[in-house]
């Protein structure tokens, strides 16, 4: 009988909205309201009533564009491990999804905490594209992955839990600065069921 031992791990991390993000949302809404007001007020001001149909269509277009821009500020990052493949997708507005990074864990140059003094992230920053894929709430939980996508160096900042770190260690123990408390493939030992015999 063939035994399948696939590793499948998934997690979604929501990006924390900063003060800058909230300010951008307010600005987008204000600009959209002003634009809709102007394009509808000008035809009325000059008595060009037949342009009202066009201005109404433009108003819907501006409103929809504003919705896309405001909802696009809300982002989530989905991490997934399927055997030795790790990928990060960005989800904008809880609808639009695009792949941000994917690669084989076996080929990662380094996996370490962002504040690891023994393996500083600065050693891998030169010439690398940086992708920040964490919530931004707690820097202590952030790790970095130094890898390559084709010929381009990349530096991916993530916020993994123990399941991901265990998977990283399983497929790339040499370059993973994490040691699981138990072996990834270890199975719990069943307790022996000992029945006492009644004495006659």
76-117 per-position pLDDT tens digit = 999 999 999 999 999 988 888 999 999 999 999 999 999 999
**103 in Cβ contact with 150 (< 8 Å):** no
Q: What is the DSSP letter of 48?
A: -
Q: What's the pTM? A: 0.74
Q: What is the DSSP letter of 153?
A: E
| pLDDT for position 153 | 94
| pLDDT for position 52 | 74
| pLDDT for position 193 | 39
Which span out of 61-65, 159-163, 196-200 was modeled with the highest average pLDDT?
Answer: 159-163
Q: Which residue has the higher pLDDT, 57 or 43?
A: 57
State the residue for tokens 């989800």: 91
Residue 10's nearest CA partner among 163, 145, 157, 179 is 163
| pLDDT for position 182 | 63
Per-residue pLDDT band for 3 (boundaries 50, 70, 90) equals: very low
Cα dihedral value 43, 46, 50, 56, nearest 10: 10
């Amino acid at each position: 009988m063939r035994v399948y031992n696939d590793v499948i791990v998934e997690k979604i991390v929501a990006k924390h909205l900063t003060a800058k993000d909230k300010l951008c949302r307010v600005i987008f809404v204000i600009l959209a309201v002003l634009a809709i007001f102007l394009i509808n007020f000008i035809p009325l001001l000059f008595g060009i009533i037949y342009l009202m149909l066009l201005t109404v269509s433009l108003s819907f277009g501006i409103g929809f564009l504003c919705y896309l821009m405001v909802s696009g500020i809300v982002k989530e990052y989905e991490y997934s491990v399927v055997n030795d493949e790790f990928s990060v997708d960005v989800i904008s507005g809880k609808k639009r999804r695009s792949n941000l990074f994917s690669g084989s864990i076996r080929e990662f140059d380094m996996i370490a905490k962002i504040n690891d003094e023994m393996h500083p992230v600065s050693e891998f920053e030169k010439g690398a594209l940086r992708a920040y894929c964490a919530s931004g709430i707690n820097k202590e939980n952030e790790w970095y992955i130094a890898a390559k996508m084709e010929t381009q160096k990349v530096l991916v900042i993530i916020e993994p839990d123990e399941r991901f770190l265990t998977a990283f260690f399983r497929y790339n123990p040499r370059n993973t600065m994490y040691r699981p408390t138990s072996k990834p493939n270890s199975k719990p030992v069943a307790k022996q069921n000992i029945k006492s015999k009644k004495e006659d």
